[in-house]
Amino acid sequence: MLFGIEWDTSDNLTFAISILPILMRGLWVTLQAAVLGFFVAMVLGLVLAALKAVPARIVSWPTRVIAEFLRDTPLLIQLFFLYYVLPEFGLILPAFLTGALALGLQYSAYLSEVYRAGIEAVPRGQHEAARALDLTPRDTFIRIILPQAIPRIIPAMGNYLVAITKDVPILSVVTVLELLGVARIIGDRTFNYLVPLTMVGGIYLILTLLASYGVRRLDRSLPKTGIPLK
Amino acid sequence: MTDPIIKFDAVGKRFGSVTVLDGLDFEVAEGEKVTIIGPSGSGKSTILRILMTLESISDGVVYVGGEPLWHERKGGNFVPASESHLREMRRLLGMVFQSFNLFPHMTVLRNLTEAPVRVLGLSRAEARERGLELLDMVGLADQAKKFPHQLSGGQQQRVAIARALAMRPKIMLFDEPTSALDPELVGEVQAVIRQLAEEHDLTMLLVTHEMRFAREISDRVCFIDGGRIREEGAPEEFFTNPKEERTRDFLHAILADN
Ligand SMILES: Nc1ncnc2c1ncn2[C@@H]1O[C@H](COP(=O)(O)OP(=O)(O)OP(=O)(O)O)[C@@H](O)[C@H]1O
Ligand SMILES: [Mg+2]
């Protein structure tokens, strides 16, 4: 029994059906962690991208180092760091929040690159035309560059949303009861790992296929020339 | 003669170790239409880009409308220009690029109204009215609601000319405005520029490889090579009787191409 739901181990199919609702609880946690982590990554990534673009090296350089560090060290280490080291400084967060934060931190480094690449892909002539028309740097960014960068940014972001969802199982090592963690507990208690783990694999497969399809659809529906301003 | 509206005073421009402009002296009078010709890499675009404040200078002083462009006067001295000085000076100039550089996510009309609304502070309605007038002038009043990619190259360049004019510049810079166009579309863009030259008191500075067009619309033609003006003169004289060896070679080569 888990989350007050009983399982029936009489045969594999019945077992599978009986644990499906339990796995769905885990899936719900997985999706929440992915979305929250991704939200953190989107905001923090934008901050990192902006700081990296600051002309003053005293700002851009440390930002680059931090982003590189977040990207090139394993997620598990960052997670352990937040989970075991932060409490020593008196900052105690629930496991779920710690996990989502760790995901968000690492993915903020990835997303900062996505933002940067999207913005840099806008041709130089657009900046020059805006400058020749005397638009302010702020107006240029908001009205000229960003609308053209967004259709390049969103599909790449979609791919990272899929990737972050696939990284959520790592949170199970700090006791977050997400999909894989739940499946393992069921296995521990019933000595049947085959069925729950196979189901987790299947659920992930369906999830990823759906998401990839969604990203492709989105990509095709985005106007290539930028968010239109009439 | 009144003071020149554009004046390059011993202007140098280097990119790293490459010297592009080398003590360039060059003046344009108000209302004058001047064409710059010269071999590839001789610094023609650089001159226009310096004026449009897209490229800074390494030495000398550039004056526009009597004011230093890349400098500010401070206690009798020239100090490097601040961004706000550059902003103010840029208002005097408009530029048409070889590759149009229209904003692809904006309708044709919005391309023409965005800067007047944001920069000049016109109301949307005023800007639209003015934008439509300009579109009418370049023969594209019926294309206002389209997006740039729905237009031909020639139409796009005509929109770009109207967009620059919408800011009411006193000086228009054209950097090879027809060289990205299919040959059959060159004429319509040249016609618009010709009309501008004939009917307006704009000062015009044009870079082109179209010698016949240069001859038709300019008051003066300047040949630049090695970072300096090597020869200049009224088009008739310049094209029929060039004095410098290099000018003759250049004209020879380019006329053989066309
Ligand atoms: N941003 C830059 N960095 C380095 N070199 C540059 C840069 N811009 C221009 N140059 C160099 O400066 C020289 C002059 O360039 P410019 O574009 O003014 O020539 P141009 O006369 O317009 O030539 P073209 O007829 O090919 O357009 C060229 O050798 C070019 O390679
Ligand atoms: Mg050029």
A230 close to B (CB below 8 A): yes
CB contact under 8 A, B164 and A136: no
Smallest CA-to-CA distance from B188 within B213, B163, B218 is with B213
Smallest CA-to-CA distance from A117 within A188, A64, A164, A49 is with A49
Domain ranges of chain A: 12-221
Residues with Cβ within 6 A of ligand 1? B 15, 18, 20, 38, 40-46
CB contact under 8 A, A134 and B119: yes
CB contact under 8 A, B97 and A125: yes
- At a CB cut-off of 8 Å and minimum separation 6, what does A159 contact? A215
Answer whether B107's CB lies under 8 Å from B144's CB: yes
The kind and range of the H/E element at B127 are: helix B124-137
B103 close to A (CB below 8 A): yes
The angle at the Cα of B194, spanning B66 to B257, to the nearest 5 degrees, equals 105
- Give the Å distance between the CA of B91 and the centre of ligand 2: 23
Q: Which tens digit of pLDDT belongs to each residue from A151-194?
A: 999 989 999 999 999 999 999 999 899 999 999 999 999 999 99
Mean pLDDT of B165-174: 97
Given a cut of 90, is residue B258 above it in pLDDT? no
Which residues of chain A fall below pLDDT 50?
Answer: none
Mean pLDDT of B224-235: 93
Residue with the nearest Cα to atom 30 of ligand 1? B41
CB contact under 8 A, A128 and B105: no
- Give the Å distance between the CA of B140 and the centre of ligand 2: 27
- Helix axis angle for A146-167 and A95-120, nearest 10°, is 150
Neighbours of B151 (CB within 10 A): 18
Domain A12-221 CATH (choose: 2.40.160.50, 3.90.1150.10, 1.10.3720.10, 2.130.10.10)? 1.10.3720.10
Distance from CA of B244 to the nearest CA of A (A): 35
* Two structure tokens written together for A158: 């979609």
- Residue B121 sits at φ, ψ, to 5 deg, of 75, 20
- Residue B24 sits at φ, ψ, to 5 deg, of -75, 125
A55 contacts in chain B (CB < 8 Å): none
- Helix axis angle for B108-115 and B153-165, nearest 10°, is 20
> ipTM of this model?
0.94
Ligand lying closest to the C-alpha of residue B37:
1
CB contact under 8 A, B115 and A229: no
Percent of chain A with pLDDT over 90: 79
- Give the Å distance between the CA of B40 and the centre of ligand 1: 8
Answer whether B173's CB lies under 8 Å from B205's CB: yes
Coil, strand or helix at A130: helix
- Give the Å distance between the CA of B157 and the centre of ligand 1: 22
Q: Which tens digit of pLDDT belongs to each residue from B63-120?
A: 999 999 999 988 888 999 999 999 999 999 999 999 999 999 999 999 999 999 999 9
> What stretches of B65-112 adopt beta strand conformation (E)?
67-68, 71-74, 77-80, 93-96
The band of B204, judged by pLDDT with boundaries at 50, 70 and 90, is very high
> What per-residue confidence (pLDDT) applies to A6?
86
Q: What is the distance, to the nearest Å, from the Cα of residue B244 to the centroid of all Cα atoms in its chain?
A: 26
Distance CA B106, CA B146 (A): 9
